[in-house]
Structure 1
């Protein structure tokens, strides 16, 4: 092998070694960057997937809780009905249990007019404009539903035209509760010969067929007498900002 061929072989060896060295030198950060990008991408995909899964799990949970809430509210109404019948059974000894009432969930749409928190439009299926319906919130009497222009309108407890039959205290003194455009309600036409007192609980009587008997309305905070009747001011259990949903008693049987 001559000197020129030997020199060429050495140069070729150095060149190949240099290419391999610099190739590995350059590939290393590129590979690290590529792995970092791929890892970030996979982490992002997994994070999005977890977020999607959590969203749908939460949605399923919310739907399930709504269904359970409707079930428990219906069961609460049934218990009110049974409790009332049980009291009558103890008193009369010959009472039979009635069939439980029908209820439906309704949605609040808007105020009828701004500045009046006691009237709201509601969305209600199978609405009969000739009827008056009992309105409930978490098992408490919340007002009534009537027709306005053949649309269902909820008159909440504070409205002066929201009225229904009630009993006051353990003596079950009959009366009619109505709103007063304020937080407090008034029970009127209570016979004077039936004793009532501050702190007595006011319950629906069911005699008007709007509510079933035994639903809680409020407690007596003051009493006045005039014209052969007593009147009681009560603090209602339901009063405040309008919730998004109510229950309506569609049938009392």
Structure 2
């Protein structure tokens, strides 16, 4: 092999090596830039997809809410019509009877004592310690409010001293419900000649002037008879999870 051939081979080797070196040298920033562009593209694509999904769900929710709003508007008109006819009927009979109660939103402060989930202090304006108030949670009878000294104390449904008048089932069997320091309640003094059944709904009667009539209390789980009366074990719709707020019935007209 002559000298010229060796020189040409060395030159080609140098050129190939240089090309590989510069290729690796340039490849790193190019790949970094490419990855950045891909990442930005995918992030943008995901952002667009999320925006589309959110828009779709929002649009679906808006449609559903509009349908519900139309339904409630129709029901509200029906209720207004019924209320108007009812008031006219009362006027025709020269009756002063009114049914609209007054309620107040009250805040839970703390347990009366630790270990007892059935008694809580509440914050209530214009409280009269000589009165007994009905306590509501989301429209369900939740217990009563009494005075402990000058402070309002809520006795929730599980408390043995939380008592109020109720009716049971389609027969409107009267009774007095109370807590049993557990998850169930007991309805006592139900006349034996009035039939009741397991599964019957228990509603407030309003005869004690603590609640208005017709508020839901719970359902009958079991029935027993003793001393000329019936008793029923009831699963209440509200049991003391001690929410932050209740409503109190301050006046029944």
TM-score by length of 1: 0.63
Q: Give per-residue Cα distances to partners, 1:61-111, cap 9 Å, x unaligned.
A: xxxxxxxxxxx9xxx9xx8xx89xx9xx9xxx9998623000000000000
Mapping 1:172-251, distance limit 5 Å: 172-251=172-251
Shift of 1:240: 3.4
Deviations 1:161-190 (A, max 9, x none): 000000000000000000000000000000
Name the residue aligned to 1:171: 171
Structure 2 CA distance for partners of 1:96 and 1:217, relative to 1, 3 Å: farther
Counterpart-to-counterpart distance in 2, 1:95 and 1:235:
38
Q: 1:199 to 1:159 in 2, by over 3 A?
A: same
Preserved contact between residue 109 and residue 120 of structure 2 (Cα < 8 Å): yes
**CA RMSD, 1 decimal:** 2.5
Query: How far, CA to CA, are the matches of 1:234 and 1:123 in structure 2?
Result: 29
Whole-Å separation in 1 of the counterparts to 2:126 and 2:240: 27
- Paired residues in the alignment total 168
Give the CA deviation at 1:150.
1.2
Partner of 2:125: 125
Distance in structure 2 (CA, Å) of the matches to 1:226 and 1:168: 18
Q: Deviations over 1:189-209 (max 9, x none)?
A: 000000000000000000000
Q: How does 1:1-253 map to 2 (within 5 A)?
A: 98-253=98-253
* Cα distance in 2 for residues equivalent to 1:99 and 1:187: 26
Deviation per residue, 1:202-224 (Å, 9 max, x gap)? 00000000000000000001000
SS in 1 for 2:198: coil
TM-score (normalizing by structure 2): 0.63
**Does the C-alpha gap of structure 1 residues 160 and 130 become closer, same or farther in structure 2, counting only changes over 3 Å?**
same
Structure 1 pair 192–249 and aligned structure 2 pair: CA distance change class (3 A):
same
Distance between the aligned counterparts of 2:95 and 2:214, measured in 1?
A: 16
SS in 1 for 2:209: coil
Which runs of no fewer than 5 residues in structure 1 stay unpaired?
1-71
